Structure 1
Amino acid sequence: MPSHEKIDYIEWPSTDLAATKQFFTDVFQWQFMDYGPEYTAFDSQGMTGGFYQSTHPSLTAHGSALVIFYSDDLEQTLRKITDNSGKIIKPIFSFPGGRRFHFIEPGGNELAVWSDH
């Protein structure tokens, strides 16, 4: 149920929708609903959203916001990402409160994963 004036939905570009869908299915067990050949949506992932076909991925170097996942096992999540064609662009590093890494999914978007241990 949407909440008044709260973030409700997020959309990402993808340079390869099929690869993006396969990656998020294999790594995070997401399920998708296609709405034509250039849009796919997901739900039940802490937030609902979708991916649209684009030639411009979301990268922090271009000023994009960074979406960060949480993991109970940072190294295991990193292995799942690299085993499924994700590219690590910032290896695991510590920061006050935890550790994290950044990666690029096959559709070109930069995301991160953090853990408090």
Structure 2
Amino acid sequence: MKKKIYLIALTMLLSVGAFNSYASTVTDGALTALTKEQIATMTTEQKQARVEEIKTRVNEIKAMKKSELTKEERKELRTELKGLKHEANALGGGGVYLSVGAIIIIILVLILIL
């Protein structure tokens, strides 16, 4: 009897974990953002024009009186800003990020070489 209860509890626990992993991949703010394939096919002029559009939209949002908006409208603005931020980072090319561990390894290699 105990084994059946443990088996059912384990099955329920694993099934709940599986559902959560799929739910976390859906983003509401990415609905208006361009896909990576669309960004890859854009020219530099198109990318710069899109970045300017994003900047003007962000400035419009900053100029709004947010105290007059409803809770749902503020939530929509937040998701739109998140989507614009992700799109702007994708258009900008990102950057080079080094972790602390990578920096330490690079310094050690340089000391060994020199």
TM-score, normalised by the number of residues in structure 2: 0.23
Pick the structure with more helix per residue.
2
- Bigger CA radius of gyration: 2
Structure 1 length normalisation: TM-score? 0.23
